[in-house]
Amino acid sequence: MKAIVKYISSIFSALKTLFKGMAVTGHYISHPKEIITQQYPENRETLKMFDMFRGEVVLTHSESNEHRCTGCSACEVACPNGTIEIINKRIEMPDGKKKKVIDKFVYHLSMCTFCNLCILSCPTDAIKMSQDFEHAVFDRSQLTKVLNKPASKLMEGVR
């Protein structure tokens, strides 16, 4: 007797779960506004990548061409595949002291796996991931980028 009740109830529970699944897909097909496909080359002007997207590493510069990178090389150490090279130089301050600042922040896009470890390791939040994803170039050398803009200098108060 117990087996028969179990048999019949299993049929109804199976039907219930089937309808539950069909309700999910039914919701999808009846809500075409939720479609996530992007018509990429056509909507290039309006396409906005989501916030978490990891396009490439950029060094943020303020309007007065100042960045926050102190040249501590934490990102260079954190990078698992040698994508970042920091070349430092020593400049003489007005008060006669010598100070270490970055000369070149070299970033090899061709080696980057977009793992985000460099951004997490940065103590001064100098670098971030941009949403730019059109990286195709005709020459490999163009993938090696110097991230700090010419004549940019360290922002006041960042140490």
Partner 1 sequence: MNIYDFKSLTDSIHTSLSVNLSPSAVTIIEFIIIAFAFMMLFTLLGLILVYAERKIAAFFQLRLGPMRVGKWGIAQTAADAIKLILKEPLVTKNADKFLFNLAPFIIILSTFMALGAMPFAKGLHALDFDIGILYLTAVSSLGVIGILIAGWSSDNKYSLIGAMRSGAQVVSYELSVGLSLLTVVVLAGSLQFSEIIASQEAGWWIFRGHIPALIAFTIFMIAGTAETNRGPFDLPEAESELTAGFHTEYSGLKFAFFFLAEFVNMFIIAGIGATVFLGGWMPFHIGNWEGFNRIMDFIPSLFWFFGKVAFLIFLMMWFKWTFPRLRIDQLLRLEWKYLLPINLVNILFMAFIVLMGWHF
List interacting residues with partner 1 (CB under 8 A). 11, 18, 21-22, 24-26, 28-29, 32, 34-37, 39
Query: Looking at beta carbons only, is 26 or 123 nearer to partner 1?
Result: 26
Tell me the closest approach of the beta carbon of residue 46 to partner 1, in angstroms: 16
Nearer to partner 1 by Cβ, of 24 and 93: the residue is: 24
Between residues 19 and 53, which has the closer beta carbon with respect to partner 1?
Answer: 19
CA-based torsion, 72, 75, 78, 82: positive or negative? negative
Of 5 and 24, CB closest to partner 1: 24
CB-CB contact of 154 with 67 (8 Å): yes
Residue 11 Cβ vs partner 1, minimum distance, rounded to whole Å: 7
Q: CA 72: distance to chain centroid?
A: 21
Comparing CB distances to partner 1, the nearer of 31 and 90 is: 31
Give the 3-state secondary structure of residue 84: strand
Token pair listed for 81? 């595949």
Q: Count other C-beta atoms under 10 Å from residue 123's C-beta.
A: 12
Cα distance between residue 42 and residue 7, in whole Å: 55
Q: Which of 116, 124, 123, 54 is closest to 79 using CA atoms? A: 116
Q: How far is the CB of 48 from partner 1 (least distance, A)?
A: 18
d(CA 118, CA 127): 8
Using CA atoms, how far apart are residues 102 and 90, in angstroms rounded to an integer?
A: 8
Minimum distance between the CB of residue 8 and partner 1, rounded to whole angstroms?
10
Quote the least distance from Cβ 14 to partner 1, whole Å.
Answer: 8
